[in-house]
Amino acid sequence: MTWVTGRLLCGWAPVQTSTKKTLAKPNVRNIVVVEGVRIPFLLSGTSYKDLMPHDLARAALSSLLIKTNVPKEVVDYIIFGTVIQEVKTSNVAREAALGAGFSDKTPAHTVTMACISANQAMTTGVGLIASGQSDVIVAGGVELMSDVPIRHSRKMRKMMLDLNKAKTLGQRLSLISKFRLNFLTPELPAVAEFSTSETMGHSADRLAASFAVSRLEQDEYALRSHRLAKKAQDEGLLSDVVPFKVPGKETVTKDNGIRPSSLEQMAKLKPAFVKPYGTVTAANSSFLTDGASAMLIMAEDKALAMGYKPKAYLRDFVYVSQDPKDQLLLGPTYATPKVLEKAGLTLKDIDAFEFHEAFSGQILANFKAMDSDWFAQNYMGRKAKVGSPPLEKFNNWGGSLSLGHPFGATGCRLVMAAANRLRKEGGQFGLVAACAAGGQGHAMIVETYPK
Amino acid sequence: MVASRAIGCLRRFANASRTLHHCSGYICRNFSRSSALLARSHINYGIKDDVAVIRINSPNSKVNTLNQELQSEFMEVMNEIWASDQVKSAVLISSKPGCFIAGADINMIAACKTPQEVTRLSQEGQKMFEKLENSPKPIVAAISGSCLGGGLELAISCQYRIATRDKKTVLGVPEVLLGILPGAGGTQRLPQMVGVPAAFDMMLTGRNIRADRAKKMGLVDQLVEPLGPGVKPPEERTIEYLEEIAVTFAKGLADKKISLKRSKGLMDKLTSYAMGIPFVRQQVYKKVEEQVRKQTKGLYPAPLKIIDVVKTGLEEGKDAGYLSESQKFGELAMTKESKALIGLYHGQVLCKKNKFGTPQREVKNIAVLGAGLMGAGIAQVSVDKGLKTILKDATLTGLSRGQQQVFKGLNDKVKKKTLTSFERDFIFNNLTGQLDYQSFEKADMVIEAVFEDINLKHKVLKEVEEVIGMHYFSPVDKMQLLEIITTPKTSKDTTASAVAVGLKQGKVIIVVKDGPGFYTTRCLAPMMSEVIRILQEGIGPKKLDSLTTGFGFPVGAATLVDEVGVDVAKHVAEDLGKAFGERFAGGSLELLKQMVSKGFLGRKSGKGFYVYKEGVKSKDLNSDMDSVLAGLQVSPKPEVSSDEDIQYRLVSRFVNEAALCLQEEILATPAEGDIGAVFGLGFPPCLGGPFRFVDLYGAQKIVDRLRRYEAAYGKQFTPCQLLIDQASAGKKFYQ
């Protein structure tokens, strides 16, 4: 019945704010974020290191249940993003949901799109609601970099599989006799592009060089991120963080990667990828992170009918993709003007920018690209540049560089940061943007829900 | 739509003329050396902090060439830098993205009349580079693009080298391919820098070394990754970035924050230890010399002199080494071999241009009919260069075999690490295999590599506008030559299109007029006829092979027949024999006929003159051929049967037919004739091709020889009118 009601109510509900017109469109359902949570993002190899990805996802999901009190039967669908898959739980969304107390009648699937996997989870949910298939969606993401699947070599795998099929002792012995010591060399998952074999850090260093971003600029930007994150943490602004009692360990309550240092300290670090003269270092890159996030998304009418006070609307979004070699991390540059155009906004209309910070160099290169008419004309087929976001509105509560970046989970954090900042700082529109491996990118407009 | 026909499957001499692959170490440019001495036209420099940045940018050229003007400007600048108190170090960089310095100006040598003059040139270069080597202010060579010959010699005189890891960045000393040696200190510095064995390898093969390999060898000190677009085009920003990095290193070197000492790997340490022992060195020289003698058969003087010069430097010291280098350089520059090789180089440059202009419509989609060895080969070199290619065959088996051939060709590049597996897949995706004529209407050009049902084809290819012949050589991915055949009906634009496609496929192109055998096959046929006669006269295949390779052919004549395929040889001999009659006679066709009937088709059937076994390299004579040869034996004519006469009987028939092709205007220029013969048929590169050979050997002497053989055998050796005219007028094909 809920479904039918949802459909019937889904008219255009004009909710005007004092300053600008809302982005609500006639005959399109308004979709809202009711609530979003994340367990603290931790440096990999710390408190979560003995857990499995679905443990983290489960923690986020059950916290969401508790925080929202949503009756589990009303959740129509669960979608999670993840990047480095644990092979035992390849549909991690389902494994986590089952354990988190959701109904076993609620289907769940897992999506992957590199660093914008959680964004993909959210927008998949938006699509389900907008098309009338669902009313209530849980979207989220998870990553556990403390443990990654390290495989036997292909030769070893082949031998083991053949051994399985061998029938006689003779066949087995003959297979075993072909064993060589180098079969034991393991295969590690690389944070490298499959198409170019280049690691992301290396590409980021080249990108920074392409846009002539200096080491100092990168260090300064990273320091800013850490300082702002520290401030936000201290002031209790990171309200999406929920405590997580780690089995057998203490309760984790805070992100542990926020470490404001000094420019002098940072200057001492050696380049991590392009040696010996590169500019990308451990201090101006995001670090390997464990974490999970989850979000309750509903059709506005449904949320209101259930008595919720939504936090924000999810509005227009775009996905973009470009050359994975030389423009790997320029997703935000391509996505920003496109999503603004779609929403009928300009950069000036945006009150809160939340961009994923993969590397300082990547953020600053994107700024320069967005501020370049030449780049817009020659590579994006646009008449003019979109402009660079004003720094005072940009990632004011820290970003991936300082808060951490669990690949599959970051997208929800970005949206929640935008929503919470708009509520706190009093703006109407937020712009979320992120780059992703494969040379892809995403941007979404978040509109604050009127108070 | 243009339909082209790939004709002939002459599986060519295996290794022929691959030597000339990349011989752009010397670049020929004519400079107006007028009054431009006041303003610097090749070099400008600016100062960044305390680093002088010297930028090389020769005007009106795609490449920088070390000519006298550039050299003197460079020394002028260096002297200023050395004298300046503000400058503590220097960076040397080119403003041209694809080229650091492509080599020394070949015309400087060509202008010299005596070895002494060339020696003097060499000594000037040596002195200049020695000054750089001893520079009190460190100089960093920032290399992007080709750094060859004199360019590399210059770079290795600097204190530090930084190169972009770009496919276009190659380092090498290709002088040997022009019959000379690195004459500006290269023979002395390279062994110090990369070790004796690697230095020999570089100098004796002339091979191009890519930047990453150069880094491993110790030829460059740092690599810089090419950049993508920023707020400027990628190439421009990459050069800028290279300069920035080079400046940082120059400062570091001047402040002694960066050490010049190179950390060597264990192998390098062992090698240099071993090379410190005189006995080991002697063994290395001996071994290298043996190898060179075996490969060059004494026909190429440059490699032996290179060994000699390196040896002198190592054993008798620097001064003796430099002196020897400059003297041998002078001597080599005057040799016929060098003139022949330089001639070929010029010819090759010529045949890499489209003299028919830019075609009206760029060819982007092609279709190849027939997925055999030839068709698939054509498809491979096409998809490789981004041409969307349909490969069509009549049967699925044939098509699959062809597709696999293309895949294997690309995959071999992955194994050699010149392609990534992703790039391979991307390129392979340009290939569409099919059994029908779907989408043929979209093809800009259809290349026919097999004869199919002509009616069906004509039905499908109604829209065929024009036909042009494209004669590829097998294996297509290895053989550089493409012979394009035009008829009076062929329009200029069609020719331009065919040439453009060929150039895209990486071919060296000659354009000839239509006639039986075109140019290449026609030249080869009389020589082949002579091969049969010589075998009939009782010279065994092994002896014949050694006589031909001893003359400079990369593959022996008997082996060649086996490689081409006896059936193909028979087919060609019959066809051209009918067309040209008496002149193409000599050997008895019966020999080939009997071989075909016995199934001795050459390598492809496992037996020909030799026996071929899978995986076995050395080959034995096919003893079953003894009776065949015995049955067809004729008695030799002692007056024209010395080893040398046998060699000249073969070559003179070839040369005479080539001249006839020029006389009959099948060929447009002697240069194309030389390129076609060397790159398509394996004519000895040291002779420079049939026309260069006549020039260097003397037209009169060739005519005399032909007359002598004519007296013994008749019309097959009658010299053509053009040769007679050249001889009597004392004219040369190349002025």
pLDDT band (50, 70, 90) for residue B461: low
Confidence (pLDDT) at B490 = 87
What is the C-alpha to C-alpha distance for residues B247 and B376, in angstroms, rounded to an integer? 49
> Shortest Cα distance from B243 to chain A (angstroms)?
12
Rounded to whole angstroms, how far apart are CA atoms B4 and B465? Answer: 11
For B235-244, how does the pLDDT look when each residue is reduced to its tens digit (9 = 90+)? 999 999 999 9
For residue A374, give the nearest of B231, B245, B422 by CB distance.
B231
**Residues A56, A168 within the same domain:** no
Residue-level pLDDT at B548: 96
A202 CB neighbours in chain B (<8 A) are 225
Is A210 in the B-facing interface, judged by CB distances under 8 Å? yes
Q: Which residues contact B691 (CB under 8 A, 6 or more apart)?
A: B658, B659, B662, B670, B671, B673, B674, B733, B734
- Interface contact flag, B228 A326, Cβ < 8 Å: yes
Within a domain: A190 = no
pLDDT at B708 over 70: yes
Q: Which of these ranges, B389-393, B455-459, B696-700, has the smallest mean pLDDT? A: B455-459
CB A370 within 8 A of CB A387: yes
CATH number of B365-507: 3.40.50.720
Q: Among the options A10, A54, A356, A435, which is catalytic?
A: A435
Lowest mean pLDDT among A33-47, A293-307, B7-21, B499-513: B7-21
- Cβ atoms A428, A351 nearer than 8 A: yes
Binning pLDDT at 50, 70 and 90, where does residue B32 land?
A: very low
Nearest-by-CA chain B residue for A371: B231
Position B526 pLDDT exceeds 90: yes
What is the per-residue DSSP string for B472-520?
E-BSTTT--EEEEEE-TT--HHHHHHHHHHHHHTT-EEEEEE--TTTTH
Q: What is the mean pLDDT of residues B32-46?
A: 63
Neighbours of B460 (CB within 10 A): 15
User: Per residue in B417-426, pLDDT tens?
Assistant: 889 899 999 9
Contact A72, A133 (CB under 8 A): no
User: Measured at the alpha carbon of residue B237, what is the angle toward residues B231 and B242, in degrees to the nearest 5?
Assistant: 150
Give the C-alpha separation, B314 to B332, whole Å: 21
Please give the pLDDT value at position B237: 96
Residues in CB range of B218: below 8 A, 6 or more apart: B193, B194, B195, B262, B264, B268
A327 close to B (CB below 8 A): yes
Provide, rounded to the nearest whole percent, the portion of chain A with pLDDT above 90.
Answer: 90
Question: Is the pLDDT confidence value at B621 over 50?
Answer: yes
B60 Cβ neighbours under 8 A, 6+ residues apart: none
Determine the longest span between alpha carbons in chain A, in angstroms: 83
Beta bridge partners, B602, equal B607
CB contact under 8 A, B241 and A209: yes
B249 vs A: CB within 8 A: yes
Q: Kindly report, residue by residue over A150-201, the tens digit of the pLDDT.
A: 999 999 999 999 999 999 999 999 999 999 999 999 988 877 888 898 999 9
Question: Looking at residue B458, what is its pLDDT?
Answer: 57
C-beta of residue A284 within 8 angstroms of C-beta of residue A50: no
Determine, yes or no, domain membership for A217.
Answer: no
Verify that A437 and A390 share a domain, yes or no.
Answer: yes
Rounded mean pLDDT of B141-155? 97
**Spatial separation of the C-alpha atoms in residues B219 and B209, rounded to whole Å:** 10
Question: Can you tell me the distance from the alpha carbon of B546 to that of B551, in angstroms, rounded to the nearest whole number?
Answer: 8
Closest-CA residue of A relative to B248 is A277
Q: Do both A361 and A293 map to the same domain?
A: yes
The tokens for B460 are 């499908």
Between helix B699-713 and helix B643-663 the angle, nearest 10°, is 110
pLDDT (0 to 100) of residue B441: 86
Report yes or no: B454 and B373 within 8 Å, Cβ to Cβ: no
Superfamily (CATH) of domain B43-334: 2-enoyl-CoA Hydratase; Chain A, domain 1 (3.90.226.10)
* Residue A218 covered by a domain: no
pLDDT in the model for residue B475? 87
**Whether residue A156 is found in the same domain as residue A86:** no
B422: chain A residues, CB-CB within 8 Å: 194-197
Q: Is residue A434 domain-shared with residue A365, that is, in the same domain?
A: yes
Q: Are B153 and B199 in contact (CB under 8 A)?
A: no
Residue B442 CA, chain-centre distance (Å), reads: 35
The Cβ-side half-sphere exposure at B71, using a 13 Å CA radius, reads 21
| Cβ within 8 Å, pair A378-B229 | yes
Tell me how far apart the alpha carbons of residues A336 and A331 are, in angstroms, rounded to a whole number: 8
Q: Is residue A78 part of a domain?
A: yes
Look up residue B663 and give its amino acid: Q
Sign of CA dihedral B412, B418, B423, B427: negative
Structure tokens at B150: 């004199």
- Predicted TM-score (pTM) of the model is 0.89
User: Is A202 assigned a catalytic role?
Assistant: no
Which residues in chain B have their CB less than 8 angstroms from residue A374's CB? 231-232
Q: What gap in Å lies between CA B638 and CA B712, rounded to an integer?
A: 10
Question: What is the spatial distance between Cα B606 and Cα B586, in angstroms, rounded to a whole number?
Answer: 27
* Residues B380-407, mean pLDDT to the nearest whole number: 95
Q: Is the minimum CB–CB distance between A197 and chain B shorter than 8 Å?
A: yes
The predicted pLDDT at position B460 comes to 53
Query: Do the Cβ atoms of A121 and A411 come closer than 8 Å?
Result: yes
Is residue B159 classed exposed, middle or buried when 0-12, 13-18 and 19+ CB atoms within 10 A define those classes?
buried
Q: Rounded to an integer, what distance in angstroms lies between the CA atom of residue B49 and that of residue B246?
A: 13
Q: Where exactly are the structural domains of chain B?
A: 43-334, 365-507, 520-729
Residue B421 burial (CB count, 10 A): 13
Catalytic amino acids of B?
483
Indicate if the pLDDT at residue B36 is higher than 80. no
The answer to whether A150 contacts chain B (CB < 8 Å) is no
The complex's ipTM works out to: 0.91
Q: Nearest residue of B to residue A329 by CA position?
A: B228
One domain for residues A71 and A165 = no
Distance CA B484, CA B520 (A): 11
Give tens-digit pLDDT for A265-317: 999 999 999 999 999 999 999 999 999 999 999 999 999 999 999 999 999 99
The answer to whether A435 is a known catalytic residue is yes
Is residue B338 within 8 Å of B183, Cβ to Cβ? no
Question: Residues A7-32: pLDDT tens digits?
Answer: 333 334 444 444 568 888 888 899 99
d(CA B238, CA B162): 13
The better pLDDT of the pair A4, B65 is held by B65
User: Is residue A203 in a domain?
Assistant: no
**Strand runs labelled E in B232-318:** none
Q: What's A442's domain CATH number?
A: 3.40.47.10
Residue A221, in any domain of the structure: no
Mean pLDDT of the residues in chain B: 89
* pLDDT given at position B271: 81
Give the separation between CA B242 and CA B237, rounded to whole angstroms: 8
- Residues A360, A442, single domain; the answer is yes
A59 contacts: CB under 8 Å, gap ≥ 6: A39, A100, A244, A292
User: Contact at 8 Å (CB) between A327 and A195?
Assistant: no
Q: What beta strand segments (E) does A222-346 contain?
A: 244-245, 251-252, 289-299, 312-321
Separation of alpha carbons A139 and A295, rounded Å: 5
The arithmetic mean of pLDDT across residues B638-664, rounded, is: 96
Q: What residues contact B303, with CB distance under 8 A and at least 6 apart?
A: B176, B204, B292, B296
Same domain, A300 and A433: yes
Whether residues A386 and A293 share a domain: the answer is yes
A204 belongs to a structural domain: no
Report the relative pairing of strands A251-252 and A350-355 from DSSP bridges. Answer: unpaired
Size of interface A-B (CB pairs under 8 A): 58
- A209 with B422: Cβ contact below 8 A: no
Q: What is the mean pLDDT of residues B210-218?
A: 94
Please report the pLDDT score of residue A12 as a whole number.
Answer: 41
Tokens standing for residue A205: 């260093």
Task: Tell the burial category of B690 from Cβ atoms under 10 Å away from its Cβ (0-12, 13-18, 19+).
Answer: buried
Q: Is B190 on the interface with A (CB under 8 A)?
A: no
Confidence of residue B731 (pLDDT cuts 50, 70, 90): very high
Q: pLDDT at position A6, please?
A: 35
pLDDT value, residue A21: 81
Q: How far is CA A104 from the centre of its chain?
A: 26
Contact of B232 with chain A, judged by CB distance below 8 Å, is answered with yes
pLDDT in tens, A343-401: 999 999 999 999 999 999 999 999 999 999 999 999 999 999 999 999 999 999 999 99
Domain count, chain A: 2
On whether both A296 and A430 belong to a single domain, the answer is yes
CA–CA dist B355, A407 (Å, integer): 56
Q: Tell me: do A307 and A409 sit in the same domain.
A: yes
Q: Residue range B461-473: average pLDDT? A: 75
Model confidence at A244: pLDDT above 50: yes
Q: Which residues of chain A have a CB within 8 Å of the CB of B420?
A: 196-197
> What's the pLDDT score for residue B464?
61
B237 to chain A, closest Cα gap in Å:
6
Q: Which residue of A has its CA nearest to B425?
A: A195
Subunit contact A210:B225, Cβ cutoff 8 A: no
3 state DSSP class of A38: strand
d(CA B389, CA B393): 13
CA closest to A372 among chain B residues: B231
Q: Are A93 and A80 in contact (CB under 8 A)?
A: yes
Owning domain of residue A174: 151-183
Query: CA nearest B482: which of B493, B495, B492, B464?
Result: B495
DSSP assignment of B511-574 equals EEE--TTTTHHHHHHHHHHHHHHHHHTT--HHHHHHHHHHHT-SS-HHHHHHHH-HHHHHHHHH
By Cβ distance, the residue of A209, A323, A368 closest to B227 is A209
A239 part of a folded domain? no
- Same domain for A380 and A321: yes
Among 1.10.1040.50, 2.60.40.10, 1.10.357.10, 3.90.1150.10, what is the CATH number of B520-729?
1.10.1040.50
